[in-house]
């Protein structure tokens, strides 16, 4: 009897795990993609397609330890070849280090050593090839004047975050119909999950009764 109970439990748990796995298999895990800012440029110098999708984030880390040298990233969000459009934007200037006070807080709250860029329409960026510029500014320490500005072009390509779609859907379905069907499928999965869970506990109690 004990082996039979364990066998039935294993079957039910296996079915539940399969249902839960199928529900989350298509979900995309958001990730931060590291780009190092070095003295001789960015690493990697560009990001080709097939690496990033919507909702991923570019994480620029300044590892150039030269003093009086700062970096920032300019983004051509509207993809018109210019970087001064209303939708275009740039990161803050990134320094090699930020001075801290005795409590560990930044002396200059505007000082940054890193920057994040979200690859998403909510951040005015659409999937495709996004042109950017790595701007390097060198300042004369004694006069506090800019002595040199270097511009380096690079690009980032990211794709839409497309989940798996039932290939057997009839052609001509509108987006609303697809969303409605997806919602119904999620409800159905939840009902099946609850039903199997109830069946598991009921079956366990019945087996206990038979054993007694």
Q: What CATH number should be reported for the domain holding residue 92?
A: 2.60.40.420
SS3 164: coil
- Minimal CA–CA distance to 83: which of 36, 130, 34, 40? 130
Q: Is the pLDDT reported for residue 84 higher than 50?
A: yes
- Look at residue 185 and tell me if it is in a domain: no
- Look at residue 205 and tell me if it is in a domain: no
- Look at residue 12 and tell me if it is in a domain: no
- Minimal CA–CA distance to 160: which of 66, 82, 57, 52? 52
Task: Count how many domains the chain has.
Answer: 1
Confidence of residue 9 (pLDDT cuts 50, 70, 90): low
Q: Which domain holds residue 101?
A: 32-159
Q: Is the pLDDT reported for residue 23 higher than 60?
A: no
**What pLDDT, on a 0 to 100 scale, did the predictor assign at position 81?**
92
- Look at residue 98 and tell me if it is in a domain: yes
CA distances from 155 to 5, 49, 115, 118, 144 (A): 59, 10, 16, 14, 31
Helices (H), the chain: 2-24, 175-211
**What pLDDT, on a 0 to 100 scale, did the predictor assign at position 144?**
85
- Minimal CA–CA distance to 156: which of 83, 88, 93, 77? 77
């Amino acid at each position: 009897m004990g082996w039979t109970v364990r066998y039935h439990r294993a079957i039910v748990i296996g079915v539940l795990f399969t249902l839960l796995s199928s529900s989350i298999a298509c979900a995309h895990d958001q990730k931060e993609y590291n780009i190092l800012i070095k003295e001789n440029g960015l690493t990697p110098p560009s990001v080709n397609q097939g690496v990033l999708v919507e909702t991923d984030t570019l994480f620029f880390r300044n590892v150039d330890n030269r003093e009086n040298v700062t970096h920032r990233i300019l983004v051509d969000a509207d993809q018109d070849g210019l970087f001064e459009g209303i939708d275009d934007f740039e990161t803050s200037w990134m320094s090699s280090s930020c001075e801290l006070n005795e409590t560990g807080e930044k002396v200059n709250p505007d000082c940054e050593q890193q920057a994040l860029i979200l690859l998403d329409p909510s951040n005015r960026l659409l999937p495709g090839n996004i042109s950017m510029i790595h701007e390097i500014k060198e300042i004369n320490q004694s006069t506090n004047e800019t002595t040199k500005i270097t511009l380096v072009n690079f690009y980032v390509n990211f794709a839409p975050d497309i989940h798996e779609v039932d290939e057997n859907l009839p052609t001509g379905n509108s987006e609303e119909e697809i969303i409605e069907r997806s919602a119904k499928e999620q409800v159905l999965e939840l009902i099946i999950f609850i039903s199997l869970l109830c069946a598991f506990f009921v079956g366990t109690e019945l087996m206990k009764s038979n054993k007694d």
